Structure 1
Amino acid sequence: MSSQPHADRATSSVADQSSNIAAKNPEKLMGSALTVVLLSTLAFAMKGLLAKFVYATGMTVDGLLLLRFLFAMPFFWLGVYLFGKKRPGDRKMKPTDLLWGALFGGLFFAAALFDFTAVSLIDVTVSRIVLFTFPAIVMILEILHKRRLPPIRQVVCFVMTYIGLMLVLAPNGFDMVSGNLWYGAAWAFGSALIYACYLYFGQGMIKTIGSMHFAALINTMAGLSMVLYELVVQKPLNLNLDGVLWTAGISIFCTVIPFFLLYEGIRRIGATQASLISLSGPAMTFFAAWLLLGEILTIPQLVGFAVVILGVASLKNSFSLAGLGRLLARPFARS
């Protein structure tokens, strides 16, 4: 019985030593956190790209989604078991949490279904840019929910975002846009709308049960939603070995691992800076799609791409070009 106080003091001593090390080496801590978040962003950015390789094997959107959720599910709960215990602010889940989890899991499933459908129809670069408008939708939801107009700066940035989006979708005018592009973009925008609702209304539950438990619960409920959906629609899956292997890679390296990396980055440097770094995601997707798939954006589309990035980035309260430059330069600063 007497060993517990000694263990507590030992744990406290280790924590104090870690705090002292962090205080003495703030640049090193910041650099490692930036690396963690950048790796997470890169992994998320590769999701749509790898999906193209899955579709090339003949596997359908439904087959990819079903396997993705089923593969990721045990790894999320393994992460909760290994790293999700006794975290500050977390509590054990209650039966009501399962009901809310089913709701948000259904939204997450629908957002994923719309997203991967869009990737199957149009270039992955364009679909990522359309999907990337979800922060602006979150702003609209906040306006409607709180019945309070945002600052004029946010309104200007909101307009900028959609001007950029129109340049990406219709660089030569709306009369030149193919019906297939509009159809694919509609799926991508639907995913952005659903994902924005999922994030905005689910943030309270994240604070209640903790981010890792929330991720595991939502992925499980989304997987169950996918199973029910497939039982109803009974669409072909076209499962094959190559497609299964690509999907396993998406599940582990573009779903489970980046979630854990992102949460660790948020723990170290906070959600605001982690989100700011994550704005590089569409740029990473564009570069990877150009390198591996040969996708090319025209000059007007590149301009629209830049406007979308700046418009969404400026929704962050602390955003500035100088601040962004200093933030991204820190990993390379001399110790």
Structure 2
Amino acid sequence: MSASAESPKPSPTWLATWGGYIFAGLGAFLFASKGIWIKVAYQYDIDASSLLAVRLLFATPFFVIGGLATYWRMKSRGQEGPPPIATRPDLYLKTLAVGALGYWFASYTDFESLVTLTPQFERLIIFTYPLFVIVFGAMFFQQKMRVSALWTFAIAYAGIAFIFVTDLRIQGSVIFTGALWCLASSLSFALYLLLAKPLIARMGPSLFTSWAMSGAAIATFIHFLNVHRLSDIHWSPSLFWLTLGLAIGATVAPSYLTNFALSRISSQANAVISFINPIFTLGMSVLILRLPASFADIIGTLLVLLGVGLYTWLDQRAAKNAAQPASG
């Protein structure tokens, strides 16, 4: 046996093989719990702007510390980072503005929608944001749109319409108001994703998130102080723990879990796993909030999952076929 023979590579550990899928599943579960935390917090006489302000008060330091740690780690290793603020102030101002759009406006409109909507209906409307990303990308960002797969949009929105009509008949026009708030959240979050992509590529995800969360915090606290005083929030131990759980359990933790997952599995695999998000929300609404799972909820959820899932599958298949070299 020659000395130059290669030793066999050790087989990957169980965590290396399945860790990414576990992180993605946990991230999807925790993201799905956001509406549950909010609905429970509303029982303590707190409004959307106050709840959002307290959530960011708890969550922002974690993201800022993460961004600073990444910056100093890159600097200590001599890695090239983003340009200094003095030379590119526009880059950082854009990041603050985009962060305010994605982490303040999209969140505030989402919180307002949950005043009247059930968490499962809110989650289904939010879940259609990839469709808006596709439409806005084609309209404003010169991105290609698979026209042949647009019929899948109709399936997803048929599910939302089915639940909407049923809830409108039972609860009245307040459902219409909540759905408009939620639609505004989905639209603004889709626009945020498109605007954020080139900024993330230039700054890196961790530093971008740090600055974006700072922009959201500034916008949130300006908004809060325009409509409230600090004394308007009536604290109780239960409300404190609920807002802390919302900030850590449904904001910070799932963000990092999703990033960990993306470092181990493909974005396509992570997207497929995220399809269980509305199912988690529906289950938690039944088990924790004791809300009934109606026939409309179940059928509507299945239609939304089918529509979004089909478009994702068709888009990935078309991209894979386009990437393959032509035979001949």
Change (3 A) 1:319 1:277: farther
Change (3 A) 1:199 1:148: closer
Task: Find the aligned partners of 2:311 and 2:14 in 1 and give their Cα distance.
Answer: 27
TM superposition shift of 1:150: 2.7
Equivalent position amino acid for 2:258 in 1 = L
Task: Find the aligned partners of 1:254 and 1:83 in 2 and give their Cα distance.
Answer: 23
Q: Does 1:229 align with 2:229?
A: no
Q: Does 1:132 align with 2:119?
A: no
TM superposition shift of 1:319: 7.7
TM superposition shift of 1:65: 0.6
Q: Is contact 1:169-1:301 (8 Å) kept?
A: no
Q: Does 1:296 align with 2:312?
A: no
Q: Is contact 2:49-2:223 (8 Å) kept?
A: no
1:55 counterpart residue number: 42
TM superposition shift of 1:223: 0.8
Q: Does 1:178 align with 2:172?
A: yes
Alignment partner for residue 82 of structure 2, among 68, 75, 91? 91
Task: Find the aligned partners of 1:52 and 1:176 in 2 and give their Cα distance.
Answer: 19
1:256 counterpart residue number: 252
Q: Per-residue CA shift, 1:125-181, capped at 9, x if unaligned?
A: 111111111111111112212557632442011111111111121148x76672011
2:281 counterpart residue number: 285
1:269 counterpart residue number: 265
Task: Find the aligned partners of 1:250 and 1:263 in 2 and give their Cα distance.
Answer: 19
Task: Find the aligned partners of 1:89 and 1:123 in 2 and give their Cα distance.
Answer: 46
Q: Is contact 2:29-2:277 (8 Å) kept?
A: yes
Q: Is contact 1:121-1:184 (8 Å) kept?
A: yes
Q: Per-residue CA shift, 1:42-95, capped at 9, x if unaligned?
A: 111111101112111112212111111111111112223445633988535632
1:238 counterpart residue number: 233
2:193 counterpart residue number: 199
Unaligned runs of 5+ in 2: 1-8, 317-328
Equivalent pairs counted in the alignment come to 299
Change (3 A) 1:74 1:317: same
Unaligned runs of 5+ in 1: 1-19, 321-335
Task: State the percentage of identical aligned residues.
Answer: 22
Q: Is contact 1:89-1:208 (8 Å) kept?
A: no
Task: Find the aligned partners of 1:77 and 1:146 in 2 and give their Cα distance.
Answer: 29
Q: Is contact 2:68-2:207 (8 Å) kept?
A: no
Task: Find the aligned partners of 2:84 and 2:100 in 1 and give their Cα distance.
Answer: 18
TM-score normalised by L of structure 2: 0.83
Secondary structure, counterpart of 2:115 in structure 1: helix
Q: Is contact 1:170-1:177 (8 Å) kept?
A: no
CA RMSD of aligned residues (A): 2.6
Equivalent position amino acid for 2:251 in 1 = T
Change (3 A) 1:300 1:153: farther
Change (3 A) 1:149 1:71: closer
Task: Find the aligned partners of 2:228 and 2:207 in 1 and give their Cα distance.
Answer: 31
Task: Find the aligned partners of 2:84 and 2:269 in 1 and give their Cα distance.
Answer: 29
Change (3 A) 1:81 1:102: closer
Q: Is contact 1:138-1:197 (8 Å) kept?
A: yes
Equivalent position amino acid for 1:205 in 2 = L
Change (3 A) 1:311 1:38: same
1:64 counterpart residue number: 51
TM superposition shift of 1:254: 1.1
Q: Is contact 1:114-1:188 (8 Å) kept?
A: yes
Q: Does 1:113 align with 2:97?
A: no
Task: Find the aligned partners of 2:252 and 2:41 in 1 and give their Cα distance.
Answer: 18
Task: Find the aligned partners of 2:306 and 2:315 in 1 and give their Cα distance.
Answer: 10
Task: Find the aligned partners of 2:295 and 2:81 in 1 and give their Cα distance.
Answer: 48
Equivalent position amino acid for 2:21 in 1 = L
Task: Find the aligned partners of 2:135 and 2:101 in 1 and give their Cα distance.
Answer: 18
Task: Find the aligned partners of 2:143 and 2:25 in 1 and give their Cα distance.
Answer: 34
Change (3 A) 1:244 1:237: farther
